Amino acid sequence: MLQQLFTESVQHTLDLVGIFVFAISGALLAVRKNFDVFGIAVLAEATALGGGLFRDLVIGAVPPAAFTDLGYFITPLLAALLVIFLHPQVERIQTGVNVFDAAGLGLFCVAGTTKAYEYGLGLTASACLGLVTAVGGGVVRDVLANEVPSLLRWDRDLYAVPAIVGAALVALCIGYEVLNPFTSALAAATAFALRLLALRFRWRAPRAWNRRSTVVEGE
């Protein structure tokens, strides 16, 4: 059974790790946007908890963990404090945002898919919710920072696809009853690596065939 492979403490730890790395990415973006300390904290919290909050509401895990576990609230604040005092040089902030965001993407697509399945969703629905869990915080982050979400930008490197792959791998492992800490870590690492490779080699999803658009390249 899936419940035996992922104990409550393991699931909680996985959630906290994902929350921390997503909060780092949100706080780094806030620094790059020249937000004050309150803005940094808000963006860290929203980035870290946005996807998980949506997940818990959909699967009926209410009240959401973000409102019942103090650790879920404190962890983003700790990440924000870390960034406030130890953020990298300005020219390196974007690299930090990308790396931490990729790590959060990998961790959350696994955690979201696993928890959705534990609450009775089918494999396909669980994978979809794993995707939403992974990208939801990033969407909230970009909206609050007054940017078009990377998820919707045709001129940005692949973002949702790595999360889809990671969530699909978890669903396949569940279906074939081979999901364990090693295979779940492998799925998270695969999503993480795909995102970094997409950034390195500028992989992008194709657009509509024979499109005719007045949008200027790079806008």
Contact residues for 104 (Cβ-Cβ < 8 A; gap 6+): 18, 21, 22, 24, 25, 47, 134, 137, 138
Neighbours of 64 (CB within 10 A): 17
Entry pTM: 0.84
The predicted structure's pLDDT at residue 188: 92
So what's the pLDDT on residue 4? 47
DSSP letter string, 71-107: HHHHHHHHHHHHHHHH---GGGHHHHHHHHHHHHHHH
Segment holding 190, helix H or strand E: helix 181-201
What tens digit of pLDDT does each residue of 150-187 get?
Answer: 788 877 889 899 999 999 999 999 999 999 889 999 99
